[in-house]
Structure 1
Amino acid sequence: MSTSDTINNSLDGQTALVTGATGGLGRAIALQLARAGATVVVHGRDAERGAAVVAAIAAEGGRARFAAADLGEPAGATALAEAAGPVDILVNNAGFSAWGPTAGFAPAAFDDMFAANVRAPFLLTGALAPGMAERGHGSIINIGSMAGSIGLTEGAAYGATKAALASLAQSWAAEYSVHGVRVNTVAPGPIYTRPEAKELFDALGATTAMNRAAQPEEIAAVVAFLASPAASYMTGATVAVDGGRTAI
């Protein structure tokens, strides 16, 4: 059996929660995990967009349902964990970026970004990982960024949130992997997620070794690999999927 066959047939009977899955990279991840056989809990704040992703998964013969929550508030993470129920795969993808000089960076923007990008994954993992450990298996995948490992002008606050996610994954690997729960980070570079921002992504892509930005599906494929038995001996890793940007 090839590695691709292992991934494509590996997630039957499993449930995956993908946060921030109503568009962009999260949508691509939800679709990819559903193609691999998982039942996907599509998280977001917009029910209409969530329904569209669920419909897209169903159109391909997959299984999905939508769960709404505002992860900027602690209660939102708690409510989402309860709505999702027991899950086998958690993809901590939701979050946002705010860029600007350190001097004068708005404290409210700093706090909001850490709440969404760091606190929410921390609370969700705390709520869902113990159940995975009790069942003896699970995969948690944090969506980091190349910004978490290289210095980017006006990216200090955002980069710090992504570095924190990679650090959390390492600590969770130490805490949960003895119980069969693998925890890894995927660190993308620039991704074509918004058609209206193509020029920006082209410019960022030009800084990579491959001279282009990624398609969301290219990152989603790596997430699906990490969720699958093909990555059975991977935990605590940060996987750069950035077109070689952090290598050069």
Structure 2
Amino acid sequence: MELTGRIALVTGSTSGIGRATAHALAARGAHVLVSGRSEERGAQVVAAIRADGGKADFLAADLHDADSARDLAERAVRTGGRVDILVNNAGIGAFGPTEATAEADFDAMYATNVKVPFFLVAALAPAMADRGEGVIVNLTTMVAGFGQAGAALYGSSKAAVSLLTKAWAAEFGPRGVRVNAVAPGPTRTEGTAPMGDGLEQLASRAPAARVADPEEIAQAIAYLAGPGASFVHGTVLPVDGGRAAV
């Protein structure tokens, strides 16, 4: 129960990696603020955490711009009293040829994947720094680290998150706020289900040669959020079955 007394906001936590992260943090004692668009799914996650003896509340949020990020941050502070741990998990992914990408899709990708985390950190990190402690864990992707055909838009948006992670570590680390990121490989979630066999093919190129379960990614996030990672700042941790090694 290493996170007892901590308030954790996990964006996009009504499904997939975010939901698994909410459970993992709650199991370690954190009071988890579950966030997402679906009231029904949010209620289910909260009920499951409480049934296991954990603490959780749901905050509905459709994160797509700076105002929606600021609004969520304000409601999270009102609900929890403060935010000690921020997990920037909410994001969207789309793959396809560069020439087939519409401007609206480009703008939506960068708004959700880059702008929202930026303004959530802007809203919450200063108070963490004033208290002299806090943790931010960002979610990026393995395809932010190498070229992948069809992933120019998604990969570049997450590459921005990787750089933001390092910049924020330099900015807030001296005042007690640890900022790190996790870069997952292919993971079986509701969001990746449409990829079908393509997910297995992508995973086959890594030493582990299999697709991850969301809980495996969540364990890495929970590690970075906990005291066991007290000397870890500004890192992007690959949790990709070894794809970064080949």
User: Which amino acid letter does the alignment assign opposite residue 59 of structure 1?
Assistant: A
Query: TM-score of the superposition, structure 1-length normalised?
Result: 0.94
Partner residue, 2:127: 131
Partner residue, 2:33: 41
**For residues 123-180 of structure 1, what are the alpha-carbon distances to aligned partners after superposition, in whole Å with 9 as ceiling and x for unaligned?**
0000000111011111100000001101110111110111000100100001101111
Matched, 1:239 2:237: yes
RMSD: 1.1
* Partner SS, residue 48 of structure 2: helix
Quick one: which of 71, 78, 84 aligns to 1:79? 71
In structure 2, stretches of 5+ residues that fail to align are none
Size of the aligned set, in residue pairs, is 240
In structure 1, stretches of 5+ residues that fail to align are 1-8
Shift in Å, 1:199:
3.1
User: Which amino acid letter does the alignment assign opposite residue 55 of structure 1?
Assistant: A
In 2, the alpha carbon distance for the partners of 1:98 and 1:217 equals 23
Identity score, percent: 52
Shift in Å, 1:206:
1.2
User: Which amino acid letter does the alignment assign opposite residue 107 of structure 1?
Assistant: E
Matched, 1:28 2:47: no
User: Which amino acid letter does the alignment assign opposite residue 212 of structure 1?
Assistant: R
* Alignment of structure 1 residues 94-243 onto 2, 5 Å: 94-194=90-190, 196-197=193-194, 199-243=197-241
* Partner SS, residue 241 of structure 2: coil
Asked whether the equivalents of residues 59 and 75 of structure 2 are also in contact (C-alpha less than 8 Å), the reply is: yes
Shift in Å, 1:69:
1.3
In 2, the alpha carbon distance for the partners of 1:199 and 1:164 equals 28
Shift in Å, 1:201:
2.6
Asked whether the equivalents of residues 65 and 115 of structure 2 are also in contact (C-alpha less than 8 Å), the reply is: no
* Partner SS, residue 64 of structure 1: strand
Matched, 1:67 2:67: no
Asked whether the equivalents of residues 137 and 221 of structure 2 are also in contact (C-alpha less than 8 Å), the reply is: yes
In 2, the alpha carbon distance for the partners of 1:191 and 1:150 equals 18
User: Which amino acid letter does the alignment assign opposite residue 210 of structure 2?
Assistant: R
Q: 1:196 to 1:111 in 2, by over 3 A?
A: closer
Most deviating of 193-202 and 10-19: 193-202
Shift in Å, 1:196:
4.7
Query: TM-score of the superposition, structure 2-length normalised?
Result: 0.95
Partner residue, 1:3: none
User: Which amino acid letter does the alignment assign opposite residue 217 of structure 1?
Assistant: E
In 2, the alpha carbon distance for the partners of 1:149 and 1:196 equals 23
User: Which amino acid letter does the alignment assign opposite residue 74 of structure 2?
Assistant: E
